[in-house]
Amino acid sequence: MISFNSRSAHLSFAAKSLGIKTIGIMHGLQQKDYAVYEFMQSYQEKKKIGCDVYGVWSGHYLEYFRKHSKISNSNSFQYSGLLRPVNNINKATPFKRASEKNIKVLIISEPLVSVMEIIPYLKCLIKHDDIELAIKVRPMVKDLYYEEMKIQLPSIKNIEVYDGKIEEASKEFDVFVGSNSTAVIEASLFGKISILLNTVKFGDYFDMDELIPSGLLLVKDPELLYKEINSRVEKENDLKTIEKIRYKFFSDNKDGSQWIIDQL
């Protein structure tokens, strides 16, 4: 099993030259303008250097990879599901707040984004008493993004920090906020609301700004973040953004581990 990137390309070439089957699976929500090694738009050779078979997380990504990837044949891509699927999802359960007192918001640490782009959004949330804010940092390492955040916005030291599994943290929150992290979208797997922030580097990274016809999902102005969070929480059971995001990115939450076994 392998995925084609700068660290494993030589192994892929070696396996192909020896007639060994190569199997890959998505490790994150890859977009063609960022995870270029999966797509290589300029690659025009007849011989394909990508995996012989490659699993993706949803029907949306099956269509996306078949359309944009140049390193594999279109029939190489299959709907596999997540490598570690989330268990016990009740799709019929309506959104329910973790607490009736405050809206509980989890900020996702994202080291690929400039802290200075996120600080204005945080400042707007901190001043509201009915927002309970926390940050999810990267586990087992010193999160340099969070460390820089504390320097630029010292008051952030007063909010709670989570460094464990996202599944456990999700039980305590209503809303996940970020700009490009897979964790923001994974909120839908736990029945939580995803709020996307516009940044210069990533923009509408997940191509979901117009996923719902009645409003935009990408917050482009820090001053509008508080209003958007309240609106989404209040109207979620009518808008059904959790269900729509979950279906687009994860479909039926298929077991990718079993898919891999089936390919052997």
What three-state secondary structure class fits 22?
coil
183 found inside a domain: yes
Which of 65, 80, 95 terminates a domain? The answer is: 80
pLDDT band of residue 232 (cuts 50, 70, 90) is very high
H-assigned helices in the chain: 9-17, 59-68, 115-126, 144-152, 166-170, 182-186, 222-239, 241-250, 256-263
Q: How many domains does the chain have?
A: 2
Six-digit token string for 256: 């990718």
User: Average pLDDT of the chain?
Assistant: 87
- In this predicted structure, what is the pLDDT of residue 236? 92
Inform me whether the pLDDT recorded for 253 exceeds 70.
yes
* Cβ neighbours of 39 (radius 10 Å): 22
Residue keyed to tokens 């586990």: 139
- In this predicted structure, what is the pLDDT of residue 91? 58
Q: Is the pTM of this model over 0.85?
A: yes
CATH of the domain at 194: 3.40.50.2000
Inform me whether the pLDDT recorded for 116 exceeds 90.
yes
Percent of the chain beyond pLDDT 70? 95
254 found inside a domain: no
Please give the Cα distance from 211 to 161 (Å, whole number): 31
- In this predicted structure, what is the pLDDT of residue 123? 93
55-88 pLDDT, tens digit per residue, is 999 999 999 999 998 888 899 999 999 988 776 5
Which domain does 222 fall in, by range? 103-249
Length of the chain: 264
89 found inside a domain: no
Is-contact 158 132, C-beta < 8 A?
A: no
Do 43 and 118 fall within a single domain? no
263 found inside a domain: no
Q: Which of 201-210, 224-233, 236-245, 249-258 has the lowest mean pLDDT?
A: 201-210
- In this predicted structure, what is the pLDDT of residue 1? 65
